[in-house]
Amino acid sequence: MMVEHTVKAFDEDITRLRGLIAEMGGLAEVAIHEALQALVNGDEELAAEVVKRDKKLDALETEVDAMAVRILALRAPMADDLREIVAALKIGGVVERIGDYAKNIAKRVGRIEGRARFEPLLLLPAMGEVASEMVHDVLTAYAARDPVVAREVIERDDKVDAFYDSIFRNLVSHMVENPSTISSAAQLLFVARNIERIGDHATNVAEMVHYSATGSYPSDIER
Amino acid sequence: MMVEHTVKAFDEDITRLRGLIAEMGGLAEVAIHEALQALVNGDEELAAEVVKRDKKLDALETEVDAMAVRILALRAPMADDLREIVAALKIGGVVERIGDYAKNIAKRVGRIEGRARFEPLLLLPAMGEVASEMVHDVLTAYAARDPVVAREVIERDDKVDAFYDSIFRNLVSHMVENPSTISSAAQLLFVARNIERIGDHATNVAEMVHYSATGSYPSDIER
């Protein structure tokens, strides 16, 4: 009975830990979406809201860390359970960083002038959508401990990279033809780069989910 | 005697774990330095070497993770010891990411033309030096569990940010005046941004060292 009780308590702990990470993921997705919406519409109020709400993600990460430490101290989990806690610690950290990228995009909203002239303003939200779906799906993979979905997320990162290359070239051409817009275009370069990094981080989480589910990193993917 | 034996074994474990992280820090410092050296001299061979050597950092991070899990499983540490292992896991992850930024700088070396014309090529190594010293000092703070040094590292991040702002303005002016160099200048913008992120990451580690040493985050510093 004692063992059963402990197992049940551990399961409840880990479910709460996973719940916190799911909550972080939801906030990060919203932040990406709204940061890009603010960018496209020049909506500085929404941008300020995204920046402000990032504090919630920071607080949740601290909560994940504290809960993981508590579980490790109270339950001294072994093998798979231990690996699970370590994965949660790492994934919480990465999702917090994804939120930082969204915040960074939001911070650039006020620094862009003449937004109607930029073709990438059409491409960036589409790029953000792909990255945001990667974040969503990798957290689904995490919840379901599904290495197959994790692999699919990793494969989708190429699409984000292709968007990035295309937007980079487009912005450089735009700068060459319109030197007066260079400062704004440079901000958009960084936005594209931030989204590209979000894709990379979703990929990192996918690798961790794969590790957590199988005990190994996807062998055919360069880290 | 049993308790003493366990304590000694834990101390040996944690010393090895710290040794691995110190080794990662040393590699990351060298990578930053050499990536910027390659950039300034247009040395694509050295750049390729930096990219190649990043795999060693990835392997060391995996080793840190595996060792941390092993210590948690074998010793089921409590309180400070547990916090120490969790900090090592996180710090290993961040140092690996610092290495990624250096690798990213190295990858840009071949994409820059007409390097003699760029004034930031003088500023970037100086900026990199500050960031690299932050990495060095924060790992010293980590080794000595010294929250005072950790705080000093956090304060130095302003200097990196000031470099970044100055280089950003300089590059945008340069682009406006020399549209033909925009593509190369954009690469240098990203280099500056990568160094700025290295400073941010050293700051994050400093916060963790502070947390690990005192049980709290530096309260007056915005996270």
What's A154's domain CATH number? 1.20.58.220
* Number of domains comprising chain A: 1
Judged by CB atoms closer than 8 Å, whether chains meet at A186 and B172 is answered as yes
- Which residue on chain A is closest to B74 by alpha carbon? A78
Confidence of residue B219 (pLDDT cuts 50, 70, 90): low
ipTM of the complex: 0.80
Q: How many CB pairs under 8 A join A and B?
A: 70
| Domain-embedded: residue B55 | yes
Encoding tokens for residue B133?
Answer: 């010293």
Higher pLDDT, A212 or B45: B45
What lies within 8 Å, CB to CB, of A75 at 6+ separation is A6, A9, A10, A13, A81
pLDDT of residue A84 exceeding 70, the answer is: yes
Is B200 in contact with B75 (CB distance < 8 Å)? no
* Position A175 in a domain: yes
Q: Please say whether the beta carbons of A158 and A221 come within 8 A.
A: no
Distance CA A35, CA B140 (A): 38
Cβ contact B179–A176 (<8 Å):
yes
A150-185 per-position pLDDT tens digit: 999 999 999 999 999 999 999 999 999 988 889 999
| Confidence category of residue B200, pLDDT binned at 50, 70, 90 | very high
Cα dihedral across residues B123, B128, B130, B131: positive or negative = positive
Across chain A, what does the average pLDDT equal?
A: 90
A residues 81-100 lying closer than 8 A (beta carbon) to B: 82-83, 86, 89-90, 93
Measure the CA–CA gap between A51 and A107, rounded to whole angstroms. 7
Please report which residue ranges of chain B form alpha helices under DSSP H.
2-41, 44-75, 79-108, 120-144, 147-177, 182-214
B68 touches chain A (CB under 8 A): yes
Range in A82-96, A112-126, B155-169 the model is least confident about: A112-126
Model confidence over A190-209: pLDDT tens digits?
Answer: 999 999 999 999 998 998 88
Give domain status of residue B219, yes or no.
no
Is B168 touching A (CB cutoff 8 A)? Answer: yes
Burial of B39 (0-12, 13-18, 19+ CB in 10 A): buried
- DSSP structure class, residue A215: S
- pLDDT value of position B1: 43
| CB neighbours of residue B38 within 10 Å | 23
Cβ separation A82–B68 shorter than 8 A: no
Is there a domain that residue B187 lies in? yes
The pLDDT score that the predictor gives to residue B222 is: 46
- Note whether residue A220 is domain-resident: no
Question: Do A110 and A184 meet the contact criterion of CB atoms below 8 Å apart?
Answer: no
Q: Is residue A195 part of a domain?
A: yes
**A179/B175 Cβ within 8 A:** yes
As a whole number, mean pLDDT of residues B59-76 equals: 91
Whether chain B has a CB inside 8 Å of the CB on A178: the answer is: no
CB of A22 within 8 Å of a chain B CB? The answer is: no
Percent of chain A past pLDDT 90, that is, above it, reads: 65
pLDDT at B133: 96
What are the structure tokens assigned to B16, written together?
Answer: 């090895």
Which of chain B's residues have a Cβ under 8 Å away from the Cβ of A193?
190, 193
3-class SS at A194? helix
pLDDT of A222 strictly over 60: no
Spatial neighbors of A181 by CB under 8 A, at least 6 apart, are A113, A114, A117, A118, A174, A175
How does residue A120 score in pLDDT terms, banded at 50, 70 and 90? confident
Dist CA B63 CA B148 (whole Å): 29
Domain of residue B69, residue span = 2-214
- Residue A7 domain-assigned (yes or no): yes
**CA–CA dist A36, A38 (Å, integer):** 5
Residue B76 DSSP SS3: coil
When pLDDT is averaged across residues A2-10 and rounded to a whole number, the result is 68
Residue A219 lies in a domain: no
Best B75, B113, B183, B198 member to test A by mutation, with max A CBs in 10 Å, is: B183
